[in-house]
Structure 1
Amino acid sequence: MNCGQNHHLFHVILHTYGSWLPGDPKGFRAVKHKKHCEGDWKNPPPNGLHNGLLNYSQSISNPVVSLNIAQRRIVAEAIADNLNHQGAKISICSVSEQHAHLLGEFPIDEVHYKPQINQYMQRCKTWAAKRLRDADEWGGGTLWAQGSKVVRINDRRHWDNVYAYIKRHVNEHAYIYQCL
């Protein structure tokens, strides 16, 4: 959905470090599809299919990062503040224990939007980690998983559905930051 010259709406999803590893029972995707995985989060693979890969992934990773309630508030506000500072307009942001969702309008080139939004989000992730450290809510280490999932919003109905979906994350004790 175009919001004006070079402004477009997107749903962006971030994960904390270690929250979705190769072999995860929710399903997974290997980088450049080096390993095929049956199913996805909507239709997960059969139980135990990738237990060996998951055990290996966990053995070489640091512990999963889980955000407490106070940390969720700091992260949501940091993401919204940083994106607004970068010229994006955030409608809603939710931060749960191990992931975040946001719906926003980004001033970007519509052709190559994924790398541009990933740059925005990398700056947000860095800023959120700094804000947690400044508040003595984070001892250091890796806070975020690499990358983000970016979904372009197609029309008003899509926007309304995503907005409601993000708002429902309050049911999993997410901190909700709303700007509209």
Structure 2
Amino acid sequence: MEPLPRQLQDLSEQAKKTEDVVAAAREGNRARLEAHRQQLHDTWTAAVNRTRQQVDADDAALHLRWSLMRERIKGHFVELQQRSERWRGDPDVTKAERRADQAERDAAEAVDFAVIALDGALEAVVAAVLARADADELAMSSRRAGPAQPPTATCAWPLRRRQDVPPPR
């Protein structure tokens, strides 16, 4: 799994891409939207594949739960994409209007889900930072009160996983 600071950087870059997609949608720039659609599909596929390769044996159960969730979500978005592709090119105006309305409802639901997921992710980031700070405070107080303890990661950004902490000197 990527370190949290790297994931946060990726999230920031994704927000910038989102702004570009929104701008293209507002402008009705079909060429940019088509390019974004392909890029987003490729990015999603790469992210799913990368996640599969980053399984840590100690976190197998946790990984399985998140993996199952990702697969369900991916399946839903693949279904939306396939439905959209089937609809393209049908000359019936009434059907096209209904499909556009449905596609807009699907997009609204997807954005709502993304906002909820982002809120949950940010809450997890805050919880991780606070948990690291608590652990560091406990380690510092136990070193002062008792026998020497090996150092732990400091709360300084970027967050580090326990195995990234240098050995005691």
Which TM-score band (shorter chain)?
Answer: under 0.3
- Which has the higher relative contact order, 1 or 2, with Cα contacts under 8 A spaced 6 or more apart? 1
**Structure with the larger strand share:** 1
TM-score of the superposed pair, with normalisation by structure 2:
0.27
Whichever of the two has the greater Rg, that structure is: 2
TM-score of the superposed pair, with normalisation by structure 1:
0.26
